[in-house]
Structure 1
């Protein structure tokens, strides 16, 4: 299926142009054939006039000169033939050019003037015939049919030559027309290219709305897109404000409960209830954080992001090196030149922070980060040399609340947040074995 509108229009216009040319071709050939026959008729009529002007009568006898003014009549091999018949249809004179021709022609002498038609000779060759009835010196005894003939083959040769030239010129005209159509469509689509460029600016985050400098036919479309952009922006702002209000309203009661639990912890006999209470408060706090992160990190439906990876890795690895300074983790990077991911910066920091923190926490000494472009996709691998994840548990740890590491505090929502972020950007997150001996998290996003 052809997805380019310009190519579709071009193919449609080309098809119509070809059909028009095909329809025009027989019409032009027919018109030329009629015009050529008219020309031949006029030429034969002029040759008849030459014979009439050269003819003399002596009583009932016709006298013709030895040489005629039209040289073609005087040449034996010429293709212009001249004949004169009396009123009884007997041949009384023929030109030198007709001396070896055997044409079975019977003139029609009925007083109706002249006639233009076709006749054949004994060999089957066809001729144009122009027959004129004339009364020399107004004498009844001197009435004749003066006939001139020309082979139809010459007419066909001229017609074939015209047809070949017509094919050539119409083919050239069609190519010129297609070129002009392509140029016109290219110029006409400048407006759509400008809309596309402005949309690219909006997707890249360097623009906020479409301009009004577009043809009137597109203003309704651009106006609708601008209203959609403004509505989305207002909705996102309201969403962030609501999330902030929700966070504030929930964090404050949780802080009060935390304070109460600490007060109760100082009283004897409350150790077990306080431990349960504090665990549930901590769990609620983490769940609130998780839901807020999950809601706020959704990408915009119209803005397309592209974030370089190297600067973010510098920031995250510096922070994690300080947290896990006792391990002295060695991080190996293998990134394609200018490698970037189609994820908004805040979401990418949250995503990489969870995955790298997991790798730092579980590795022995080494973490490897690989970024590459493969088959139209951006792939990012984060590997470690830790204990790895059993194959039958890999799907479990990507679900919220599931944890394999019980030696460190937490609620097991970091990887679930990572999965949500990846899914919101139409990507995929998978887990398998690393060549370092531990786990390998593989992120894949479509290139944009």
Structure 2
């Protein structure tokens, strides 16, 4: 049993309680049934003993009765019903014909009260005896008789066994109904918790921004606290993005002014200083754009889940790049396998694929090859260009923020660094190698989205 499941924990406790209750009920019912059936038998035996006492003939030297008992079983050998009369002084005994030539081992019964006892019967079975000492006045003296009535206990045992079988079937049915009722009670009782879990899952997947719905009073404070935290987080993220945007827009004007200064210096023949200012302004502009793009990334924890088509992101980005001036001159080859749903927000995946494909387009001589495949619990995409490539001893420096290994083309070296940051947020990986065509091969590894 998964002890972390509240539903299974409650069901386990209910199951234990139902089983223990039914076992206790079975024991108590069996005991009460046996007591009541033995009480009924004792009542019948007391009536028989009274009838037997009424027909004893105290004047006879040997104990005798004046008339047989009405139950014919007392006349049938070993029938299971017996009586015996013993003279307490002489030991002379008279028995029912059902005892044949056997004699009951009767225990002492003093005090004048009827005594119930259990002994071994004539046929080796369990026999129930009721014995009482009776004083009777005869013509010459008062005589003392030990009168005993016995019945076989087998009918009681059979009745108890039959009762146990019927009771077991009824209790099993009752137990099944109780367990079903307990399960329904737990399911219905925990349905608000299930609704809360579903709401949290929707928030994690981004399909909802708040926990919505009616919750019981016990859960309402928790829902309010969670919604307050979500609102506070959204407000903080929004303000952070607004500040980043304000900072970026605030820097656009000074950067444009720097370009104007560079142009005036170039017109005055200060080519070197103009070029230096242009480079600084361009790098600052690139870094501002980089920070703005980072600000809109979806910050995640291990609890957040998402599902986005990898092939769709690649094909959509490829379609856009083919329409650019640089993309029109290149031959694009896409060898994508079965579509994979990856655990990444759609916008972040488009940003990641766009960075890698734009980098390949910038350095390719005439061809860019894209391959996709699934490997276990991950999906991978490789992008190869046929450009000049990078020396193997410099591959490990790729993706480091602000590092440019080739100054021949414009850029700040932040593109692949940003790709690495996106993958770090989304628990992915990036690897660099030399392509077969001599250019750079970039391989992205992304976790697959959770099924179901």
Q: Same fold (TM over 0.5)?
A: yes
Following superposition, the deviation at residue 183 of structure 1 comes to 1.7
Counterparts of 1:208 and 1:327, CA distance in 2: 44
Q: Do 1:356 and 1:382's aligned partners in 2 also have CA atoms closer than 8 Å?
A: no
Which 10-residue stretch deviates more, 349-358 or 136-145?
Answer: 136-145
Q: Do 2:73 and 2:79's aligned partners in 1 also have CA atoms closer than 8 Å?
A: yes
Counterparts of 1:106 and 1:20, CA distance in 2: 40
Which 10-residue stretch deviates more, 282-291 or 297-306?
Answer: 297-306
Which 10-residue stretch deviates more, 300-309 or 403-412?
Answer: 300-309
Q: Do 1:87 and 1:145's aligned partners in 2 also have CA atoms closer than 8 Å?
A: yes
Q: Does 1:16 align with 2:21?
A: no
Q: Does 1:352 align with 2:353?
A: yes
Counterparts of 1:397 and 1:323, CA distance in 2: 26
What TM-score results when the alignment is normalised by the length of structure 1? Answer: 0.86
Following superposition, the deviation at residue 212 of structure 1 comes to 4.9
Q: Does 1:285 align with 2:318?
A: no
Counterparts of 2:180 and 2:393, CA distance in 1: 63
Deviations 1:226-256 (A, max 9, x none): 1112112222221221111111222222222
Q: Does 1:47 align with 2:73?
A: no
Unaligned 5+ runs, structure 2: none
Deviations 1:83-116 (A, max 9, x none): 11224372432111112434332543x4422111
Which 10-residue stretch deviates more, 157-166 or 355-364?
Answer: 157-166
Q: Which residue of 2 aligns with 1:274?
A: 274
Secondary structure class of the residue paired with 1:324: helix
Aligned residues: 443
What TM-score results when the alignment is normalised by the length of structure 2? Answer: 0.85
Q: Does 1:254 align with 2:255?
A: yes
Counterparts of 2:392 and 2:99, CA distance in 1: 106
Residues 1:40 and 1:427: Cα distance change in structure 2 (over 3 Å): farther
Aligned Cα root-mean-square deviation (Å): 3.2
Secondary structure class of the residue paired with 2:45: helix
Residues 1:181 and 1:229: Cα distance change in structure 2 (over 3 Å): same
Deviations 1:99-149 (A, max 9, x none): 2434332543x4422111223468975432101333457886354332112
Which 10-residue stretch deviates more, 24-33 or 209-218?
Answer: 24-33
Q: Which residue of 2 aligns with 1:5?
A: 6
Following superposition, the deviation at residue 417 of structure 1 comes to 0.7
Counterparts of 1:304 and 1:209, CA distance in 2: 16
Unaligned 5+ runs, structure 1: none
Residues 1:311 and 1:447: Cα distance change in structure 2 (over 3 Å): closer
Q: Do 1:113 and 1:134's aligned partners in 2 also have CA atoms closer than 8 Å?
A: no
Residues 1:173 and 1:265: Cα distance change in structure 2 (over 3 Å): same
Secondary structure class of the residue paired with 1:216: coil
Q: Do 2:63 and 2:86's aligned partners in 1 also have CA atoms closer than 8 Å?
A: no
Following superposition, the deviation at residue 353 of structure 1 comes to 0.8
Following superposition, the deviation at residue 206 of structure 1 comes to 4.0
Deviations 1:269-303 (A, max 9, x none): x2222222222222222122222322331336687
Residues 1:107 and 1:346: Cα distance change in structure 2 (over 3 Å): closer
Counterparts of 2:128 and 2:435, CA distance in 1: 95
Q: Do 1:57 and 1:136's aligned partners in 2 also have CA atoms closer than 8 Å?
A: yes
Deviations 1:140-182 (A, max 9, x none): 6354332112344554454445445544443443333222211
